[in-house]
């Protein structure tokens, strides 16, 4: 395993949420100390929700880093924010409504528009933000990812994960569960991050974790997460890691 890829295995999903919150806070403080801000992008799905819940409680709730945090989304389903499938809606309920983050530092993906237009709008949002902090590249301090049992990550699904213009930062796709239109970061953005953290829990993910971490022939979207300069950490509970050597 290359020296910028780490595995951390914890006993269960509760400890996964706690460890994820600890790492989120550590990277936030390191980023703010080094650059005066913490720029993070979160994924959807069910796994991160317990971590979001943990971050909404003390000691994290009352910590200073929220004032300097900018939060973006890795992907989003093109549904209303009040829809149960909305990634932003879930994060708003679990975390955003409870923490003292300035409203203008929360950047939800535009879902009430045509998918192609939404992708272009969010790509513009990213470019404007990063150029505003003096970066031509989308270098997030932390990107949180999950994986599907088919090896997808973000909303980059096996059947279409590589069929997009190479320089795109955000694309629209249709697929996944739920099978809806989505906006998603591309590998270009994901691999520019300073820290990528996969959160993976449960026995149903054990086969895909084994394929991604131990089968070099596997050509899957999550396999192509290789940070250019940053670190990659697989934070797994014991069930998800149960097929690893
Ligand atoms: C999405 C997510 C997706 C998720 C995985 C794992 O919007 O669907 O970003 O990539 O991370 O599907 O989902 P679970 O955590 O629910 O297993």
User: Which residue's alpha carbon is nearest to atom 15 within ligand 1?
Assistant: 47
Question: Looking at the domain assignment, is residue 53 inside a domain?
Answer: yes
Within a domain: 213: yes
Residue 35 host element (H or E): helix 13-35
Ligand 1 centroid distance, CA of 43 (Å): 7
Q: Is residue 97 part of a domain?
A: yes
Cα(69) to centroid(ligand 1), Å: 23
| pLDDT at position 1 | 54
Q: How far, in Å, is the centroid of ligand 1 from the Cα of 44?
A: 5
Q: What is the mean pLDDT of residues 33-57?
A: 98
- pLDDT tens, position by position, 157-205: 998 767 888 899 999 999 999 999 999 999 999 999 999 999 999 999 9
Cis preceding-peptide flag for 59 (omega within 30 of 0): yes
* CA-closest residue to ligand 1 atom 12: 148
d(CA 240, CA 11): 10
Q: Is 87 in the pocket of ligand 1 (CB under 6 A)?
A: yes
| Cα-to-centroid distance, 21 and ligand 1 (Å) | 18
Pairing of strands 180-185, 170-175: antiparallel
Distance 149 CA to ligand 1 centre (A): 10
Name which residue leads in pLDDT, 4 or 91: 91
For the cut 60, the answer to whether the pLDDT of residue 93 exceeds it is yes
Number of domains in the chain: 1
For 97-145, write each residue's pLDDT tens digit: 999 999 999 999 999 999 999 999 999 999 999 999 999 999 999 999 9
> ω into residue 178 within 30 of 0, thus cis?
yes
**Rounded CA gap, 152 and 216, in Å?**
16
**Residue 135 counted as domain residue:** yes
Which atom from ligand 1 is nearest to the alpha carbon of 202? Answer: 17
Containing structural domain, residue 78: 5-237
Between 217 and 170, the higher pLDDT residue: 170
What are 150's two structure tokens? 């088919």
Of the candidates 64, 2, 78, 16, the residue with the CA atom closest to the CA atom of residue 231? 2
pLDDT confidence of residue 212:
95
Is 244 inside any structural domain? no
Please provide the average confidence, as pLDDT, over all residues in the chain: 96
- Token pair, residue 25, equals 């806070």
- Quick check: CB of 191 below 6 Å from ligand 1? no
Ligand 1 in contact with 43 (CB < 6 A)? yes
**Is position 27 within any domain?**
yes
Q: Is 243 part of a structural domain of the chain? A: no
Mean pLDDT of 202-221: 93
If pLDDT is split at 50, 70 and 90, which confidence band does 61 have?
very high
Atom 2, ligand 1: residue with shortest CA distance? 44
Q: 74 lies in a domain?
A: yes
Instruction: List, for residues 19-33, the tens digit of each pLDDT value.
Output: 999 999 999 999 999
In 3D space, the residue among 203, 231, 148 whose CA is nearest the CA of residue 13 turns out to be 203
Q: What is the pLDDT of residue 205?
A: 98
Q: How far does CA 200 lie from the centroid of its chain?
A: 12
Q: Helices (DSSP H) in 79-134: which residue ranges?
A: 87-91, 115-132
Cα–Cα distance measured from residue 139 to residue 40, given in angstroms and rounded to the nearest whole number: 10
CATH number of the CATH domain containing 225 = 3.40.50.1360
221 lines ligand 1 (CB under 6 A): no
Share of the chain above pLDDT 70, in %: 99
Of residues 99, 199, 98, the one with CA closest to residue 142: 199
User: 113-122, long-range: CB within 8 Å, 24+ apart, which pairs?
Assistant: 115/78, 115/172, 115/174, 115/181, 115/182, 115/183, 116/172, 118/78, 118/172, 118/183, 119/168, 119/170, 119/171, 119/172, 119/183, 120/170, 122/170, 122/183
Which ligand 1 atom is nearest residue 43's CA?
9
Q: Please, what sign has the CA dihedral across residues 111, 117, 123, 124? A: negative
> Is 47 touching ligand 1 by the criterion CB < 6 Å?
yes
Give the number of other Cβ atoms within 10 Å of residue 227's Cβ.
17
What's residue 217's pLDDT? Answer: 77
Q: For the whole model, what pTM was predicted?
A: 0.97
Take atom 13 of ligand 1 and give the residue whose Cα is closest.
Answer: 45
> What's the pLDDT at 2?
67
């Amino acid at each position: 395993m290359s020296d910028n890829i780490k595995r951390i295995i914890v006993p269960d999903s509760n400890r996964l949420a706690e460890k994820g919150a600890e790492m989120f806070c550590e990277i936030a403080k390191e980023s703010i100390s080094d650059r005066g801000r913490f720029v993070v992008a979160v994924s959807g799905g069910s796994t991160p929700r317990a971590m979001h819940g943990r971050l909404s409680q003390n000691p994290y709730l009352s910590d200073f880093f929220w004032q300097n945090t900018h939060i973006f989304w890795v992907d989003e389903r093109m549904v209303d924010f009040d829809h149960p499938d909305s990634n932003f809606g879930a994060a708003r309920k679990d975390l955003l409504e409870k923490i003292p983050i300035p409203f203008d530092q929360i950047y939800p993906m535009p879902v009430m528009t045509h998918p192609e237009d939404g992708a272009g709008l969010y790509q513009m949002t990213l470019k404007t933000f990063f150029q505003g902090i003096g970066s031509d590249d989308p270098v997030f301090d932390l990107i949180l990812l999950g994986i599907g049992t088919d090896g997808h990550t973000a909303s980059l699904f096996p059947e279409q994960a590589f069929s997009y213009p190479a320089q795109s930062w955000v694309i629209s796709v249709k697929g996944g569960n739920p099978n809806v239109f989505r906006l998603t970061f591309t590998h270009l953005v994901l691999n520019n991050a300073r820290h990528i953290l996969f959160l993976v829990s449960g026995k149903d993910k054990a086969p895909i974790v084994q394929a991604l971490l131990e089968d070099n022939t596997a050509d899957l979207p999550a396999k192509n997460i290789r940070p250019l300069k940053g670190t990659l950490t697989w934070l797994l509970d014991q069930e998800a890691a149960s097929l690893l050597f």
